[in-house]
């Protein structure tokens, strides 16, 4: 652990750092010379990062006391915040009709409200030093849509809008806000989303659509991009004086975001249905 209040290099906090994208980001920032704090709900899942010199922080983004304690710990050890990477999140799939309201709220709590509350706690310190970069890990799902993922898309669309507003608010203080929009990334995320989908909509009126989407999610690993492509984009964003506002990276991100921008709604619906091998009748209506 670092006991000195004088950090070596920029000080970065990465949430959801126990695996996948978050772990890759934490390791990449460390190679840039950052003092990196990796946060997760279960600190035992951070042992591999800690062994390599990344500071582990127990943090539940849905718990106010946990967020405040984590921020205070970092300030007591390193005295500042230079980079905040809001990466903690998950995909809970299911037909909008089927998803329990409590689960829908939990997904917004983790993916949106937790990230923004942590941002609120970090911002006063970035404003005081008149510098900093906030990186929000969104998704290509913050710009496009697919069936059985409506509540998840809702969280990412919300993060996109909040990031845009925040960028304009904090620019006067020398703070940058960057959105990362990953496409298909080879992590456990897809299997978790598919498990939620099977449990929520695997039977009932949406069963046929659920089965097709679940199969698509589970077979994506063979072609998905490495988490390191996301980590490299974050590294580029925090290493330049004028980062781009958005980085679309990973399998399918750029072409699908472009297609959504230029195609009419029903044409995009049909494109998604065909690409995912969804049952006939699941795409555009009359």
Dump pLDDT digits (tens) for 69-125.
Answer: 999 999 999 999 999 999 999 999 999 999 999 999 999 999 999 999 999 999 999
What are the tens digits of pLDDT across the range 172-213?
999 999 999 999 999 888 888 999 999 999 999 999 999 999
Q: What is the CA radius of gyration of the chain?
A: 19
Task: Determine, yes or no, domain membership for 5.
Answer: no
Report yes or no on 129 lying in a domain: yes
Asked whether the predicted pLDDT for residue 280 surpasses 70, the reply is: no
Q: Which residues are catalytic?
A: 138, 152, 156
Residue 258 lies in a domain: yes
Please, which pLDDT band fits residue 7 given cuts at 50, 70 and 90? low
Mean pLDDT of the chain: 93
Share of residues in the chain with pLDDT > 70 (%): 94
Of the pLDDT bands very low, low, confident and very high (cuts 50, 70, 90), residue 276 is: confident
Residue at 75 is within a domain: yes
Q: Which domain holds residue 127?
A: 11-275
Number of alpha carbons in the 13 Å side-chain half-sphere of residue 86: 32
The CATH number for 22's domain is 3.40.50.720
Mean pLDDT of 212-239: 91
- Number of structural domains found in the chain: 1
Q: How far is CA 23 from each of CA 15, 256, 285, rounded to the nearest angstrom?
A: 9, 26, 42
On whether residue 49 sits in a domain, the answer given is yes
**Is 283 domain-assigned?**
no
pLDDT tens-digit series, residues 109-138? 999 999 999 999 999 999 999 999 999 999
In a domain, 4, yes or no: no
Residue 230 · residue 137 · CB < 8 Å = yes
Flag whether pLDDT at 16 surpasses 70: yes
Closest by Cα among 218, 231, 239, 247 to 20: 231
pLDDT at 275: 82
Length of the chain: 286
CB atoms closer than 10 angstroms to residue 238: 24
Query: Could you tell me if residue 1 is inside a domain?
Result: no
Indicate if the pLDDT at residue 144 is higher than 80. yes
Q: Would you say residue 286 has pLDDT above 70?
A: no
Residues in contact with 184: Cβ distance below 8 Å, sequence separation at least 6, in sequence order? 190, 220, 223, 224, 225, 250, 251, 252
> DSSP letter string over 234-274?
HHHHHTSSS--SEEEESBTHHHHHHHHHHS-HHHHHHHHHH
Residue 151, Cα to own-chain centre: how many angstroms?
15
Which residues, at least 6 apart from 32, have a Cβ–Cβ distance to it below 8 Å? 9, 10, 235, 238, 239
d(CA 66, CA 68): 6
Has residue 283 got a pLDDT over 80?
A: no
């Amino acid at each position: 652990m670092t006991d000195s209040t004088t950090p070596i290099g920029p000080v970065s906090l990465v949430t959801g750092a126990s695996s996948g994208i978050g772990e890759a980001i934490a390791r990449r920032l460390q190679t840039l010379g950052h003092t990196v704090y990796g946060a997760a709900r279960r600190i035992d899942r951070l042992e591999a990062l800690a062994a390599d010199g990344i500071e582990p922080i127990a943090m539940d983004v849905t718990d106010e006391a946990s967020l405040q304690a984590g921020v205070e710990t970092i300030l007591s050890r390193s005295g500042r915040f230079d980079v905040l990477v809001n990466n903690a999140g998950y995909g809970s799939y299911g037909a909008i009709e089927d998803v329990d309201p409590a689960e829908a709220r939990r997904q917004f709590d983790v993916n949106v409200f937790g990230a923004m509350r942590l941002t609120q706690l970090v911002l006063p310190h970035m404003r005081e030093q008149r510098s900093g970069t906030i990186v929000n890990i969104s998704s290509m799902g913050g710009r496009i849509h697919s069936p059985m993922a409506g509540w998840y898309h809702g969280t990412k669309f919300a993060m996109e809008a909040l990031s845009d507003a925040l960028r304009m608010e904090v620019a006067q203080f020398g703070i940058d806000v960057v959105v990362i929009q990953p496409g298909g990334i080879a992590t456990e995320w897809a299997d978790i989303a598919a498990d939620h989908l099977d449990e929520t909509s695997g039977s009932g009126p949406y069963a046929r659509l659920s089965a097709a989407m679940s199969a698509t999610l589970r077979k994506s690993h063979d072609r998905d991009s490495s988490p390191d492509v996301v980590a490299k984009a974050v590294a580029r964003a925090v290493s330049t004086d004028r980062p781009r506002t958005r980085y679309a990276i990973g399998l399918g991100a750029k072409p699908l975001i472009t297609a959504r921008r230029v195609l009419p709604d029903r044409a995009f619906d049909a494109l998604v249905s065909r690409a995912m091998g969804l049952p006939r009748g699941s795409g555009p209506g009359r």
